[in-house]
Amino acid sequence: MPATDTDIPSITITAKDSNGYIILGEHSGVPSAIPTTASKFAIGCIIECASDGTSWTNIGTVAVPIWSNGGSLMKSVSLAAADIIAMYATPVLVVAAVPGKAIIVDAVEFDITRTSTQFANGGNVAVQYDSTTHGAGTATHAVIANTVVNRTAGRTITARIPVVLSDVASASIVGLGLYISNASGAFDTGTGTAKIIVRYHLV
């Protein structure tokens, strides 16, 4: 009989395996918001999204689920105001490194909700390879202008296509995670929040 878990209320559980991990369920939200809660989903778990009817499979691990709908992987990370302000000096992990594999970005979306307390200063934002500070890592897409962060109150969505990677040394991208950072200087004063969504595949 379908049930829910207090740790993952958006998932209606249809079946679990002998270890108590979910193997089949339904997500009440959009695909980008499928939870990646550790120790809940079995490898190979299938989650159907009620919002659009798509099915997603955990091709990661029990500890770190990675949702794929057939070659396309996706990770969504929420950013608190503190994360946005700190990411100049402390880039925020978006997609964890996969040993021996390069994470190739297919698309990036930046969904920000600004409040009446605006962010100020700061430089252009990008998802990059590795945790190099000050947005100085190898970029995966055209930058998101700092004005997107610093605008007045309201929610906006910015989409970016990937940059062309040509003859890139494997050491620059293989086995490295993806992080979001910004150049020029830290943002400050703002109280808004954001979500960064990365769609990618592995090579």
Is 67 in contact with 55 (CB distance < 8 Å)?
Answer: no
The yes-or-no verdict on residue 130 having pLDDT over 60 is yes
pTM for the whole structure: 0.73
Task: Return the percentage of the chain with pLDDT > 90, whole number.
Answer: 78
pLDDT digits (tens, 9 = 90+) for 21-68: 999 999 998 888 899 999 999 999 999 988 888 889 998 899 999 888
Mind listing the domains of the chain with CATH numbers?
3-70 (no CATH), 75-202 (2.60.120)
Which residue from 94, 72, 109, 70 is spatially nearest to 201, judged by alpha carbons?
72
- Please give the Cα distance from 54 to 180 (Å, whole number): 27
Q: How many Cα atoms occupy the beta-carbon half-sphere of 90 within 13 Å?
A: 6
pLDDT band at 69 (very low <50, low <70, confident <90, very high): confident
Q: Tell me how far apart the terminal alpha carbons of the chain are, to the nearest angstrom.
A: 39
Residue 128 CB contacts under 8 Å (≥ 6 apart), including other chains:
91, 135, 136, 137, 138, 139, 140, 178, 179, 180, 181
Is 24 in contact with 3 (CB distance < 8 Å)?
Answer: no
For the chain, how big is the Rg over CA atoms in Å?
Answer: 18
More confident: 147 or 51: 147
The SS3 assignment for 170 reads helix
